[in-house]
């Protein structure tokens, strides 16, 4: 059965036998978010994959980062003739050496991109014409504690809460027993259960879901 936020909060309080006078919604929600973030960082999930399109403009080598971006997987350019080019990722230090005079008229087809800061990434050389660009990236995942979006994950559920309830619950219980400074045997039990569920999740996400059955 899929979890809603209320169901998950109820189970956390039930498993630990601690009521809402200690485990207020704000405390429980923070423990849930920490568990979600740990899972997202540990396993490269299909849930996180997203795509966005934009344009590179003549003479402008900066591209605005999507607000929900965590990391870029690849960037693909398309010119007006339909030709496609994949950009190679480099560090900003490489970009500075490779293209030391970006404000000159020395424009060309961009070959590289780098993360410039939290708001922009940069290409080199500076675009010689307008290109369509497709960005594949990992997005900021939704949290089941979100009650404001439409539809609200708190009631509609998330990818984790709808498909991998055991993994989410065990992750929350690890954080909960650590927060309570509870019995070490219970903490170790749920750490083991969480690790086993996380391993199965990783095998499915990184292995089975991306394996070419035809090949």
In order, the DSSP letters of the chain are -PPPHHHHHHHHHHHHT--TTTS-HHHHHHHHHHHHHHHHHHS--GGGEEEEEEEE-TT--EEEPPTTEEEEEEEEEE-TT--EEEPEE--HHHHHHHTS-TTSS--B---EEEE-SSSEEEEESPBSS-EEEEEEEEEPPP-TT--SSSS-HHHH--HHHHH-HHHHHHHHHHHHHHHHT--HHHHHHHHHHHHHHHHHHHIIIIIGGG--S--
Q: pLDDT value at position 103?
A: 63
Q: Inform me whether the pLDDT recorded for 95 exceeds 80.
A: yes
pTM of this structure: 0.80
136-178 pLDDT per residue, tens:
988 888 899 999 988 899 999 999 999 999 999 999 999 999 9
Entry field: residues in the chain: 215
């Amino acid at each position: 059965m899929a979890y809603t936020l209320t169901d998950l909060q109820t189970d956390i309080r039930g498993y630990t036998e601690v009521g809402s006078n200690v485990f207020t919604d704000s405390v429980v929600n923070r423990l849930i978010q920490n568990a979600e973030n740990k899972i997202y960082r540990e396993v490269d999930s299909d849930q996180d994959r997203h795509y966005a399109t934009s344009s590179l403009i003549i003479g402008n080598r900066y591209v605005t980062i999507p607000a929900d971006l965590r990391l870029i997987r690849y960037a693909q350019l398309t010119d007006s003739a339909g030709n496609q080019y994949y950009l190679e990722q480099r560090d900003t230090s490489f970009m500075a050496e490779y293209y030391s005079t970006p404000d000159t008229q020395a424009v060309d087809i961009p070959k590289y991109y780098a993360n410039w800061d939290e708001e922009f990434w940069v290409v080199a050389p500076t675009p010689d014409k307008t290109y369509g660009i497709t960005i594949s990236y990992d997005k900021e995942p939704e949290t089941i504690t979100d009650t404001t979006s439409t539809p609200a994950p708190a009631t509609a559920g998330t990818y984790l809460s709808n498909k991998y309830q055991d993994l989410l619950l065990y992750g929350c219980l690890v954080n909960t027993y650590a927060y309570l400074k509870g019995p070490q045997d219970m903490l170790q039990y749920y750490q083991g259960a969480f690790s086993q569920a996380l391993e199965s999740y990783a095998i499915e996400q990184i292995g089975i879901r991306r394996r070419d059955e035809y090949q």
